[in-house]
């Protein structure tokens, strides 16, 4: 198995740097297969969502669709795929950011709840508690 960094997946999703787009596509076609998938870490999904939103202005719908596209690829193995799927589904609906949803999902999966936060939107998620500050 090989691993893919955020910037490689980004070039696959956003074809804005032609030389890197072609190199990323070659890598994905030549190096990955069902028997040798590319590994996508949780951290890469978090960074990818952030970059798509902050640098490229992707909407929640577009980001959720990109995450789902990663999940359904036979050539990719996405770490914490269930968390990514749930976070993408709920992120579409508004409220907390994708990263906040992934953090809350990890806490629930680990049985480490409540997760305490100062973020009011995140505090609306299951298992998350708002810390009041004076």
Q: What is the pLDDT along the chain (134 residues), one digit of tens a residue?
A: 999 999 999 998 998 889 999 999 999 888 899 999 999 999 999 999 999 999 999 999 999 999 999 999 999 999 999 999 999 999 999 999 999 999 999 999 999 999 999 999 999 999 999 999 87
Q: For 66, left (φ over 0), alpha (ψ -120 to 50), or beta? A: alpha
Enter the tokens of residue 73: 């690829």
Look up the pTM and report it.
Answer: 0.92
Distance between CA 67 and CA 48 in Å, rounded?
9
Pairing between β-strand 76-78 and β-strand 38-40 as defined by DSSP bridges: parallel
* Total tally of structural domains belonging to the chain: 1
**Which of 32, 12, 9 is CA-nearest to residue 21?**
12
Domain ranges, residue 23? 2-130
Query: What are the Cα distances from residue 112, in Å, to 104, 105, 106, 127?
Result: 9, 10, 8, 9
């Amino acid at each position: 198995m090989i691993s893919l960094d955020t910037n490689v997946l980004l070039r696959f999703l956003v074809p804005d740097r032609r030389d890197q787009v072609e190199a990323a596509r070659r890598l994905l076609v030549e190096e990955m297969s069902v028997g040798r998938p590319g590994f996508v870490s949780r951290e890469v999904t978090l960074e990818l969502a952030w970059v798509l939103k902050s640098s490229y202005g992707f909407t929640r719908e577009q980001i959720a669709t990109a995450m789902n596209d990663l999940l359904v690829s036979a050539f990719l193995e996405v770490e914490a795929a269930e968390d990514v799927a749930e976070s993408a589904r709920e992120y579409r609906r508004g409220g907390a950011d994708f990263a906040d949803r992934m953090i809350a999902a990890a806490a629930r999966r680990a049985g480490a709840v409540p997760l305490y936060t100062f973020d009011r939107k995140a505090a609306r998620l299951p298992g998350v508690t708002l810390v009041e500050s004076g």
